[in-house]
C-alpha cells in the first residue's frame, strides 16, 4: 500500500509533539490549552441540541444516510 504523504506528515508531527513532552498527556494538554489561550481566537461553545421524544423514537441509523436501501431491507 502506498504511503500517503499527508498522513506521514501528520504522524511525524504527532510523534515529535509527543516526544517533546515524553508522552505525558497532561503536559501535552496543558501546552495545547496555553497555545489556545495565547492564540487570540475566540472559542465558541454552543449548548447541546436536545432531541425531542419523537426524534428519539424514530428509527434512524447512520448507515441509512449512506444507503437508504438499508432502512427498508430492500438491498438488491
2: pLDDT strictly greater than 70: yes
Which grid coordinates belong to 51? 432531541
- What confidence tier does 62 reach under pLDDT thresholds 50, 70, 90? low
Domain ranges of the chain: 5-38
Q: What is the mean pLDDT of the chain?
A: 82
Is the pTM value of this prediction over 0.75?
A: no
In this prediction, residue 8 carries a pLDDT of 94
* Model confidence pLDDT, tens digit, residues 22-44: 999 999 999 999 998 998 888 88
In this prediction, residue 49 carries a pLDDT of 87
Amino acid at each position: 500500500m502506498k504511503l500517503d504523504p499527508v498522513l506521514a506528515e501528520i504522524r511525524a508531527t504527532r510523534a515529535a509533539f509527543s516526544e517533546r513532552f515524553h508522552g505525558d498527556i497532561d503536559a501535552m494538554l496543558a501546552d495545547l490549552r496555553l497555545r489556545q489561550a495565547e492564540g487570540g481566537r475566540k472559542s465558541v461553545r454552543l449548548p447541546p441540541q436536545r432531541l425531542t421524544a419523537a426524534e428519539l423514537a424514530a428509527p434512524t441509523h447512520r448507515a441509512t444516510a449512506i444507503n437508504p436501501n438499508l432502512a427498508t431491507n430492500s438491498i438488491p
